[in-house]
């Protein structure tokens, strides 16, 4: 289910930028997805979240009671670099490891709020993170 808005822009070198307010693929919910990809086109957001959802069990195991994590990751030809913070600081290493274990369907950098574990608690944690004032 995709809610909110999607912005897909392509430029001369087939670079794709995506911005999705909220998306769920195979039971994994993600908010505030933003990516700059070498290519991907119209289905790029589904490809990205589909790849994340392939590790849903591992992500849910990080915080089974429900949590939300702000994540930034870069997919390259063979490596994944990830940075994670979230509502359960003791689970960030677990989420980082799960993200690094995802096969990259695209090349580029993304950031998102990834919801894990029990859906209602994860949504509440995501709401709290999104409502918090931004730090400069």
Residue pair 5/27 in contact (Cβ under 8 Å)? The answer is no
Which residues neighbour 67 within 8 Å (Cβ) at sequence distance 6 or greater? 86, 87, 88, 91, 115, 116, 117, 121, 122, 125
Q: What residues pair up with 125 in beta bridges, in sequence order?
A: none
* Structure confidence by residue, pLDDT tens digits, 113-132: 999 999 999 999 999 999 98
Which residues neighbour 86 within 8 Å (Cβ) at sequence distance 6 or greater? 63, 67, 68, 69, 70, 92, 95, 125, 129
* Structure confidence by residue, pLDDT tens digits, 81-95: 788 988 888 899 999
What's the whole-model pTM score?
0.82
């Amino acid at each position: 289910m995709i809610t909110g808005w999607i912005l897909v822009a392509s430029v001369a070198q087939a670079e794709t930028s995506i911005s999705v307010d909220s998306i769920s693929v195979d039971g994994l919910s993600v908010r505030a997805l933003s990516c700059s990809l070498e290519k991907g086109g119209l289905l790029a957001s589904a490809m990205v979240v589909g790849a994340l959802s392939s590790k849903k069990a591992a992500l849910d195991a990080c915080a089974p009671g429900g949590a939300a994590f702000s994540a930034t990751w870069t997919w390259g030809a063979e490596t994944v670099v990830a940075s994670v913070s979230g509502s359960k600081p003791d689970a960030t290493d677990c989420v980082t490891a799960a993200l690094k274990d995802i096969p990259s369907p695209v090349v580029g950098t993304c950031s998102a709020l990834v919801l894990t574990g029990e859906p209602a608690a994860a949504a509440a944690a995501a709401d709290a993170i999104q409502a918090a004032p931004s730090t400069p």
